[in-house]
Amino acid sequence: MLELQNVSFMVGEGGDGREIVRDISLSIPDGRTVVVTGPNGGGKSTLARLVAGIERPTSGRIILDGEDITDLSITDRARRGIGFAFQQPVRFKGLRVMDLLDIASGRDLSTTEACEYLVAVGLCAKDYLEREVNASLSGGELKRIEIATVFAKASKVSIFDEPEAGIDLWSFQNLIEAFRKMRSAVKDSTVIIISHQERILAIADEIVVLREGKVASHGPREDILPSLMGTAIVAPGCPKFIGSAVGAAAAAAAQKEAANA
Ligand SMILES: Nc1ncnc2c1ncn2[C@@H]1O[C@H](COP(=O)(O)OP(=O)(O)O)[C@@H](O)[C@H]1O
Ligand SMILES: [Mg+2]
């Protein structure tokens, strides 16, 4: 179980200080898919960064399975089983996509296994496995590769920050399927997804609404979702098709496969 106890995070100094996470207490039990949503600027990404250890709370404690991890580094938290896909992906020099996936999973993946992770994020796998993770990849591609590494890592707690951004229509169902698979593949694992997407909210066991740095509501999907539908918080239906070459290639491949079946 992941627990946040009275967690606050302040930016700026003295009189200019502003609390962007304000006294949040949350318990996230094992074996759940939790979707965190709410208006932009509400503190969602900051909360994820606090849990992953990229930021340290100004006050409050973060507890994982009874252990206080508040003062642990990102690496130590990763070792304890926290995996995080950033909203803004990071670039690595000199590493191939295949290497990243191997490192994430902690073993040498077969091509087939590695491909599965990339297909989940809509990247035509064979083309990508040998690519170097450098400036030749677009921001959207990097982000998807990073999501794929979190799938490969299969951590106890996995956090995804707006994974739908840059995912085309064809890939979206694969992504949702990958979330489901991950939850069932790792026993008692928890998947935390920051999202506005209706179809991602629809797979939540629990929904947390963050507003102005506070928990505005938290409960089972059935209790929370009806009040969110139709508001600006929820992006309805499918994400817009992003006409990237990758998306188009993936869509064409899918059509071909369907035609051959
Ligand atoms: N390091 C920082 N310094 C100053 N302001 C920040 C910093 N990080 C986030 N903020 C501000 O805090 C608020 C919450 O940000 P964020 O957690 O990114 O919200 P969300 O992900 O819900 O859109 C925003 O107003 C943002 O501009
Ligand atoms: Mg954000």
Q: What is 30-55+70-260's CATH number?
A: 3.40.50.300
Average pLDDT over every residue of 77-103? 80
Average pLDDT over every residue of 180-185? 84
Q: How much of the chain exceeds pLDDT 70, in percent?
A: 87
Predicted local confidence at residue 256, as pLDDT? 55
For the CA of 19, the nearest ligand: 1
Q: What does the H/E/C string look like for the chain?
A: CEEEEEEEEEECCHHHCEEEEEEEEEEECCCCEEEEECCCCCCHHHHHHHHHCCCCCCEEEEEECCEECCCCCHHHHHHHCEEEECCCCCCCCCCEHHHHHHHHHCCCCCHHHHHHHHHHCCCCHHHHHCCECCCCCCHHHHHHHHHHHHHHHCCCEEEEECCCCCCCHHHHHHHHHHHHHHHHHCCCCEEEEECCEHHHHCCCCEEEEEECCEEEEEEEHHHHHHHHCCCCCCECCCCCCCCCHHHHHHHHHHHHHHHHC
Q: Comparing 121 with 171, which gets the higher pLDDT?
A: 121
Q: Comparing 68 with 246, which gets the higher pLDDT?
A: 68
φ/ψ of residue 84, rounded to 5? -140, 125
> What are the extents of the domains in the chain?
30-55+70-260
Flag the least confident range among 42-51, 124-133, 191-200, 209-218: 124-133
Q: Comparing 89 with 170, which gets the higher pLDDT?
A: 170
Evaluate: CB of 44 within 6 angstroms of ligand 1. Answer: yes
Q: How far is the CA of 37 from the centre of ligand 1 (A)?
A: 14
Q: Is the pTM of this model over 0.95?
A: no
Position 174 pLDDT exceeds 50? yes
Position 250 pLDDT exceeds 80? no
Beta bridge partners of 159: 84, 192
- The ligand 1 atom nearest the CA atom of 43: 17
Q: What is the pLDDT of residues 130-166, one digit of tens each?
A: 998 887 888 788 888 888 999 998 899 999 999 887 7
Q: What is the pLDDT of residues 24-65, one digit of tens each?
A: 999 999 999 999 999 999 999 999 999 999 999 999 999 999
- Neighbour count for residue 60 (Cβ, 10 Å): 17
What mean pLDDT is reported for the chain?
A: 85
Evaluate: CB of 45 within 6 angstroms of ligand 1. Answer: yes
pLDDT tier for residue 23 given thresholds of 50, 70 and 90 = very high
Q: How far is the CA of 213 from the centre of ligand 1 (A)?
A: 9
Residue 56 region by backbone torsions, left for phi larger than 0, else alpha for psi between -120 and 50, else beta: beta
Between CA 140 and CA 236 the distance in angstroms is 21
Residue pair 5/63 in contact (Cβ under 8 Å)? The answer is yes
Q: How much of the chain exceeds pLDDT 90, in percent?
A: 50
Evaluate: CB of 40 within 6 angstroms of ligand 1. Answer: yes
pLDDT tier for residue 204 given thresholds of 50, 70 and 90 = very high
